[in-house]
Amino acid sequence: MAFKHTDDYTASDWVTIIAVLIISFSLVMVIHELSLLADDGHGLYINLSYMLVFVLNILIFWIINSLIKKNRKLKEMEIVKLREQYLEQFIGNAESQYDAMRKLRHDIKDKYETVNELLKVPKIDETRKFISESFDLIEKSESYVKTKNNIVNAIVNAKLTMASSLGIKISCITVSDFEGIKGTDLCDLLSNTLENAITACKEIADDANKFLYLKIDRETDTYTFLIKNSIDHSVMDSNPRLTTTKADKKQHGLGTSIIREIARKYNGRCDFYESEGMFCCQVTLMADTTVLN
């Protein structure tokens, strides 16, 4: 348990610890009984053995406790690194969207000039065709969500655009305001849940029906994030602990831990389950009135 980087311990872990405690306690009791039956000369050595066992137990406890604290710090550092990666992605996505908007404005200006020249001729049919093609181009660059929170806009639009490019059908419903939730927590929550859903869809055969559903509700001070994705087999049966399927275990696999930590931080809950052939992640958060966005 001390060497693990997770808080999800199995029953066998606890059985081992309990067995060690019982054996240690029994050994101490045996030594104590021997010390009562022995003469003064041997009793001294038995009592010293009794104290040695006691000291060794304290020393082992201290070592295990130190290792657990060290592993927790390492885990926190890994989470911080992962958050930095997501923030870098957010900044990169924001820059890409800004460049795309500048390019789109430039293209629209050129198209207006083209339409103006076509109308001077006039070439009505060619003008209609050109306008129709321009509409198709604008629709392809259209964002999926437009909330009052720039972080949500950048992450959701970037992730859903990635999913769409992979042939995944998208459905998205969201609220506009995210008062009471820190921007970094929104970044972590949405990045991890959507990334996990996209990764799961990528593992399905290309000719299968791939679907990703995102719904964010708010009722008074309670937010509910529901993310569903297609699956071709039961994940809860094959991978009940939801460990990462990616090759690089050190760089990945912290997603579900981060999601659970955010839920605990906002006095909410996090549920993973399957329904109607889809894997579902539902996170409920209570708004923090001290947080200002």
Cβ neighbours, 10 Å, residue 183: 16
**d(C-alpha 100, C-alpha 134), whole Å:** 15
Provide the pLDDT confidence category of residue 133 given band limits of 50, 70 and 90: low
Q: What integer pLDDT is reported at residue 174 of this predicted model?
A: 94
Give, in degrees to the nearest 5, the angle at Cα 256 between 16 and 223.
130
Q: What integer pLDDT is reported at residue 254 of this predicted model?
A: 64
Q: What is the pLDDT of residues 242-254, one digit of tens each?
A: 765 555 544 445 6
3-state secondary structure of 204: coil
Helix boundaries (H) for 121-215 = 124-140, 150-165, 183-202
pTM: 0.57
**d(C-alpha 232, C-alpha 144), whole Å:** 26
Cβ neighbours, 10 Å, residue 62: 10
Q: Is 225 exposed, middle or buried (0-12, 13-18, 19+ CB in 10 A)?
A: buried
